[in-house]
Structure 1
Amino acid sequence: MPKPYFGTHEPLPESRTLRAGALSCLYEQGTLRYISAQGHELLRMIYAALRDEHWRTVPFTIHNEVIRQEEDAFLITYTARYALGTLRYEGTFRLEGTSEGTITVTMQGTAQSTFQRNRIGLCVLHPIQGCAGQPVLISTPEGERYEGTFPESISPHQPFQNIAGMRWVDASDAVLTLDFGGDVFETEDQRNWTDHSYKTYSTPQHRPRPVLVQPGDTVEQWVTLQLIHAPTRYQEEVSRVDAPRVDTPGVDTPGVDTPGVDTPGVDAPGVDAPRLLMPCLGYARNATYGPLTEQDVVLLRQVPFAHYRVEVALSQPDWKADWAAAQAEAQQLGTSVELVAWVGHDLRQELPPLLGTLADSPVRVRSLLVLPRQVPWSASWFAEVAALVRQQGVEVPLGYGTDGYFAELNRNRPPEAPGYDFVSFSVNPQVHAFDTRTLIENVSAQRYAVETARQFLPPGVPIHVSPVTFRIRNYPAGPESTLPPDQDPRHTTELGAAWMLLSLKYLAGAQRLTYFETTGPKGIIPGAPSTSPSPETYPLHRYLARIRAFDPSWILDLRVPEPFVWDVLGLENARGEQLYFMVNFSTEPRQVTLPGLAGAHFLAAESIHEWFVANNPDEPEKIG
């Protein structure tokens, strides 16, 4: 029986490496991943997606799978049966790679029930590294052509539309073409949702949705990738900050795990690495849990706790009691409050009573973000809020931003004349996919959101990322869900802790980060009453407590060549000491070298290792 992966209850899915001439890729659960040539990733993935009217991704099972694999070619056929509640859909797929360096994916789908959909069809993911800044020639269904460029900073809207074909030269000088059939395609920048890719998909967003699907309705689409010219630049000539993770030794794809081979180290040596100020860390209140116990407070005081995110629903009759309870909890925790006020129907009636409580609050209200429940958030909404706050004479820092994704802030950029004291947006890694590989891939994409925000903000405006969660919040539950849709069992494992440590690394540059909740299945501790003198906590709590004990002032800006295989969070405190958390995502043990630290470091498979470095040490002291 396959062993669980990285502290979770589930093993990685079965996969195999395929070749199509000079191309290689990983086949896994009906998808082609990490399509590469000579060690350069050219496409991240080709896959099919069915999204219902709530944008829920409909799960599928694979049947009648047939795989024919040759040395430099392959042919795979299978049937995918999609089911969610009463929704039923069936797709027949053919994936073919030829010795000429061509890969074609064909989908023929038929509805088995009546349902509403937002999308049915094939999608192609393009890696950021190798594509960003590269020109691309777009062919339209009408036979016309136009030129574009894969965006370097995050594009708020689709950079390419009305696509029938694409031709581009990537950073390795490989020349590629993509041809699409069966629908009109367009491309979006998925970094808006902290995904690590651009996505080319069908069903353009300007079309009305959802669409009613009747039994017997069919969809037929195809995508063909052709390698026109192989890469001419060696891998080390191209910046490989974002190489993918592939757990099959000996395969000519980026990020291959080859036991016994040293992995290149980071490109900034030890104490000379660029430094970013350590963000202030806080956590969100779990309003459904009830009052914090004495044991909860003891455990929560062991982690960095600069603020307590409190949400108050002003349209609810009991909001004053809820706000008073939250302030009492913040007093117990010895921390300040990051206040989020939700307005129901009438801003001018609902907000002033809350504003009137702030001057006499028993805790410091460090920030205020006012958001609407009934109308879309926008710049005009903020202008009305700001005017009302000024009228009341409130001196609490006021935020411009959203409870949603970076996409919302990016598409509603703040006005040039500030009137706001900080901007805010949230992050989670599972907007479009939920598998473990994608979870790992997406964590390093978080840095693009901070970097892009910094480009359009006036100098010195703080960035708050709040909250950072492991799963989508406010996501409609599926009819067959065994867990609430905002919970993920991986959150409370070593994998969840590794993801949090690296999220902290890649969100460095923001001033405040709010991670998860304090207690419960989405928290950093369980929160269940216990009489044990050493109550159980999640791995998240253990690593956060270690960070608090170390008391870092800076995050070291360390870039590794294969972050989907292994990565490192480096911290430095005011005493000049350094603390490294090295994460090995691989199913194989590895040796890694960090310039500035003596010797190579052995990392066990699927593990987090700690290294502590005293000021000007001869040898690092391994402490975990």
Structure 2
Amino acid sequence: MTASRIFLLFGTEEPEPVPRRLEAGRLSAELVGGNLRMIRFSGKEVLRAVSFLVRDRDWGTCEAAITELTVEEEEAATIARYDARFRAPDGAVLDCRATIEVFPDALIFDARFTPDRDFETARAGFAILHPIVGVAGRAVTVEHGDGSVERSVFPDLIEPWQPFKDIAAITYEVMPGIEAECRMIGDVFEMEDQRNWTDGSYKTYVRPLALPWPYVLKAGETVHQAVRLSIRQLDAVAVVATKPVPIEISLRRDQGKLPAIGIGLRPDEAGDELLEAGLIRVLGTRHLICHFDPGAGHGAAALRHFRQMADTSGAAVTLECFVPCRRPLDDELGEIARMVRDSGLRLASLAVSPSVDRQSTPPGSAWPECPPLEDVYQAAQRAFPGVPLGGGMFSYFTELNRKRAPANRLAYVTHCTNPIVHAADDLSVMQTFEALRDVTRSVRVIYGDKPYRIGPSTIAMRQNPYGSQTKDNPSGKRIAMANRDPRHNALFGAAWTLAYAATVAEAEVEVLTLSTLAGPFGLVAGPGEPVKEGFPRPLFYVLRWLAELSGGEGIAIETCVADRVLGLGAELDGTITLLLANLTPNPQTVTLAEPGRRRLLLLDEGWLRNGAREPEARPHESADVVLPAYAVARIEIL
């Protein structure tokens, strides 16, 4: 049976919903799954999204079942209406009647929702996403619930806490001569800087985090909320051109060394890791990031496994160690140190984190009981004298930004990221790179030139800091907070991996880990994937190419459309190697004026259809390179 194109690109046969364009005059939006995205005036993005969302008690998204959708296109307005049903994990149902009205200078999204019985939720209501590109650091006026007005700016560096609370309306300049007011009705709203989670937006959401959650919507009680966007044109404004522009690439040399590539190991994948241990040498990775959690039952057997993997691969070992913090720290860490010595495992470095810090502490919540990080680090240094010590968070930048590790005792700082905390559609996942740039920039401001490591960071979620568990995904769908994501296995995952490395390159990260060896976060295909079972997934080749370039003199690749194409390069032994990723489902043509003979290797749909064998370099004389959907290209300039 011939694999479908969508399966090769995304690893799933599930299509994304087709957006319905709503417009009136120069104001337009896309309606997808009952929510709005890409809200533009005169071609310029005003809001990234306006969504009516329902979260379960663990912050998982309750999917909307949309019925009775109608769209009326009138001369002066477009009006959409629909019914939505949200079902909680315990079977409770929330029914919503929504109306969206688009006028030439305004948009209204109105929702009335009623549960059939008591409905437990972490949040139910509107979320409004403001873009960050062209907005961060710019002026904003906030009207509060009591009518007072605050004049401020959108945060430039990532704000750990809510920059604005008790919001009734937000007014800001979209572009010279155009002002937008977004007014929220029906509850108390506040804003968070979603770049903390690598979302490409500031989010204004219903119900303050300082209030208890989960909370209960009472059976039979109807709640009304609305969002009203008004556009005020202060001066004459020309329509923004939306025609595609040629993608010209320029190179900036001498950008420092590219990071070493790490691979994660997990005790629950030990059997498969032993079978695939030979791939580590083929990959060329120099670091094994070994997950060790005594609270999950990890002990001597896990450490012996890590030693065996290190002996087989020759790679250096970093132990990513959770500290239970239930007994004296010297006792707990001393026991772990004895097990490490008894196993014969040699540590190149050790990273520690209190076990309670795997769970996030939202603004307004009480911090859990935990020894000071300074005490944890001192105890780790006593237990492992001479071993370089890392600290930070094994979860995400959010938690590091809110609970900043004292860096004076640390050899390096570390954290992970995850792109599907809040949204899992293809566009949102690729937009996370807009925020990832600011994550690394913020870390550098906080920690200066302290050595910096990232990962393991993958599309799928390794652990959920915001609830009791990650979401199972047996059907291979696009699900927020899922512990498996089919796109990891396909071309999308390869493009995402390269784009991630390209985005963080400027921060001069020391070690970058974007995969485990085995399992759903790993390098080897399982049954029912675009690649034959037991063979390397597409991202394997991307990581191998990155490993080859690590330590080389970095070359930054600049394009005028970073939302479509990202890349990086390095010069080794007189050869310039450039890696480019297409972040979109549409072909992109890039133009490179750099002189020299060229060879091209391409990971694309055709390569997958032909068996995903070892990519072959072919001469390429043209200055133009066509990147098919979610393709990754390697260009060698001799």
**Normalised by the size of structure 1, how large is the TM-score?**
0.86
Aligned to 1:537: 536
Distance 1:579 1:51 in 2: 45
Instruction: Give the counterpart letter for 2:433 in structure 1.
Output: V
User: Residue 593 of structure 1 contacts residue 600 of structure 1 at CA under 8 Å; is this kept in 2?
Assistant: yes
Residue 434 to residue 448, structure 1, CA distance change in 2 (3 Å): same
Aligned to 1:516: 515
Give the superposed CA RMSD.
3.0
Q: How does 1:90-239 map to 2 (within 5 A)?
A: 90-99=95-104, 101-229=105-233
Aligned to 1:413: 404
Tell whether 2:270 aligns with 1:279: no
Aligned to 1:263: 246
Distance 1:107 1:398 in 2: 51
Distance 2:550 2:152 in 1: 46
Distance 1:2 1:292 in 2: 29
Q: Which moved further from structure 2: 188-197 or 347-356? A: 347-356
> SS where residue 580 of structure 1 aligns?
strand
Distance 1:282 1:57 in 2: 32
> SS where residue 196 of structure 1 aligns?
coil
Deviation at 1:419, TM superposition (A): 1.5
User: Residue 333 of structure 2 contacts residue 383 of structure 2 at CA under 8 Å; is this kept in 1?
Assistant: no
Residue 393 to residue 337, structure 1, CA distance change in 2 (3 Å): closer
> SS where residue 372 of structure 2 aligns?
helix
Aligned to 1:241: none
Distance 1:50 1:206 in 2: 18
* Selected match of 1:568 from 566, 569, 579: 566
Aligned to 1:502: 499
Instruction: Give the counterpart letter for 1:97 in structure 2.
Output: V
Q: How does 1:374-413 map to 2 (within 5 A)?
A: 374=356, 381-392=372-383, 394-413=385-404
Instruction: Give the counterpart letter for 2:451 in structure 1.
Output: P
* Selected match of 1:583 from 572, 578, 581: 581
Deviation at 1:29, TM superposition (A): 1.8
Aligned to 2:556: 557
> SS where residue 373 of structure 2 aligns?
helix
* Selected match of 1:320 from 293, 300, 304: 300
Instruction: Give the counterpart letter for 1:289 in structure 2.
Output: E
Residue 122 to residue 393, structure 1, CA distance change in 2 (3 Å): closer
Instruction: Give the counterpart letter for 1:524 in structure 2.
Output: L
Q: Deviations over 1:126-170 (max 9, x none)?
A: 010121111111111111111121011101111111100111123
User: Residue 131 of structure 2 contacts residue 200 of structure 2 at CA under 8 Å; is this kept in 1?
Assistant: yes
Residue 322 to residue 214, structure 1, CA distance change in 2 (3 Å): same
Instruction: Give the counterpart letter for 2:285 in structure 1.
Output: F
Q: Deviations over 1:375-397 (max 9, x none)?
A: 76899532111221343461111
> SS where residue 267 of structure 2 aligns?
coil
> SS where residue 142 of structure 2 aligns?
strand
User: Taking every aligned residue pair, what percent have the same amino acid on both sides?
Assistant: 26
Aligned to 1:246: none
Deviation at 1:227, TM superposition (A): 1.1
Instruction: Give the counterpart letter for 2:355 in structure 1.
Output: R
> SS where residue 395 of structure 2 aligns?
coil
Deviation at 1:400, TM superposition (A): 2.2
Distance 2:236 2:636 in 1: 41
Instruction: Give the counterpart letter for 1:216 in structure 2.
Output: G
Deviation at 1:449, TM superposition (A): 0.9
Residue 264 to residue 390, structure 1, CA distance change in 2 (3 Å): closer
Q: Which moved further from structure 2: 349-358 or 298-307? A: 349-358
User: Residue 19 of structure 1 contacts residue 71 of structure 1 at CA under 8 Å; is this kept in 2?
Assistant: no
Aligned to 1:89: 94
Aligned to 1:67: 71
Deviation at 1:38, TM superposition (A): 2.9
Aligned to 1:435: 425
User: Residue 114 of structure 1 contacts residue 215 of structure 1 at CA under 8 Å; is this kept in 2?
Assistant: yes
Tell whether 2:412 aligns with 1:422: yes
> SS where residue 35 of structure 1 aligns?
strand
Instruction: Give the counterpart letter for 1:498 in structure 2.
Output: A
Tell whether 2:489 aligns with 1:492: yes
User: Residue 59 of structure 1 contacts residue 82 of structure 1 at CA under 8 Å; is this kept in 2?
Assistant: yes
Q: Which moved further from structure 2: 354-363 or 569-578? A: 354-363
Aligned to 1:463: 452
Q: Deviations over 1:151-198 (max 9, x none)?
A: 111011111111001111235452111111001111110010111110
Q: Deviations over 1:73-97 (max 9, x none)?
A: 3110011111233131111111111
Distance 2:124 2:436 in 1: 28
Tell whether 2:42 aligns with 1:52: no
Residue 547 to residue 387, structure 1, CA distance change in 2 (3 Å): closer
User: Any gaps of 5 or more consecutive residues in structure 2?
Assistant: 358-366, 596-620
Instruction: Give the counterpart letter for 2:422 in structure 1.
Output: H
Residue 192 to residue 262, structure 1, CA distance change in 2 (3 Å): closer
Distance 1:277 1:71 in 2: 58
Q: How does 1:9-48 map to 2 (within 5 A)?
A: 9-48=13-52
Instruction: Give the counterpart letter for 1:351 in structure 2.
Output: L
Deviation at 1:308, TM superposition (A): 0.9
* Selected match of 1:367 from 339, 349, 355: 349
**Normalised by the size of structure 2, how large is the TM-score?**
0.84
Deviation at 1:294, TM superposition (A): 6.8
Deviation at 1:491, TM superposition (A): 1.0
User: Residue 373 of structure 2 contacts residue 405 of structure 2 at CA under 8 Å; is this kept in 1?
Assistant: no
Deviation at 1:67, TM superposition (A): 1.0
Instruction: Give the counterpart letter for 2:378 in structure 1.
Output: A
Distance 2:272 2:185 in 1: 57
Instruction: Give the counterpart letter for 1:168 in structure 2.
Output: Y
Instruction: Give the counterpart letter for 2:462 in structure 1.
Output: R
Q: Deviations over 1:456-509 (max 9, x none)?
A: 11x321111122021222342569965693111111001011101101111222
Distance 1:586 1:338 in 2: 35
Q: Which moved further from structure 2: 469-478 or 81-90? A: 469-478
Deviation at 1:431, TM superposition (A): 0.5
Distance 1:142 1:150 in 2: 21
Aligned to 1:454: 444
Instruction: Give the counterpart letter for 2:302 in structure 1.
Output: D
Distance 1:280 1:139 in 2: 48
Deviation at 1:563, TM superposition (A): 3.1
Instruction: Give the counterpart letter for 2:42 in structure 1.
Output: Q
> SS where residue 525 of structure 1 aligns?
coil
User: Residue 262 of structure 1 contacts residue 593 of structure 1 at CA under 8 Å; is this kept in 2?
Assistant: no
Distance 2:218 2:472 in 1: 20
Instruction: Give the counterpart letter for 2:44 in structure 1.
Output: H
Instruction: Give the counterpart letter for 1:184 in structure 2.
Output: V
> SS where residue 440 of structure 1 aligns?
helix
Name the one with the larger helix percent: 2
> SS where residue 540 of structure 2 aligns?
helix
* Selected match of 2:271 from 291, 307, 314: 291
Tell whether 2:629 aligns with 1:606: yes
User: Residue 456 of structure 2 contacts residue 514 of structure 2 at CA under 8 Å; is this kept in 1?
Assistant: yes
User: Residue 314 of structure 1 contacts residue 350 of structure 1 at CA under 8 Å; is this kept in 2?
Assistant: no
Residue 172 to residue 296, structure 1, CA distance change in 2 (3 Å): farther
Residue 207 to residue 295, structure 1, CA distance change in 2 (3 Å): closer
Q: Which moved further from structure 2: 554-563 or 403-412? A: 554-563
User: Residue 558 of structure 1 contacts residue 570 of structure 1 at CA under 8 Å; is this kept in 2?
Assistant: yes
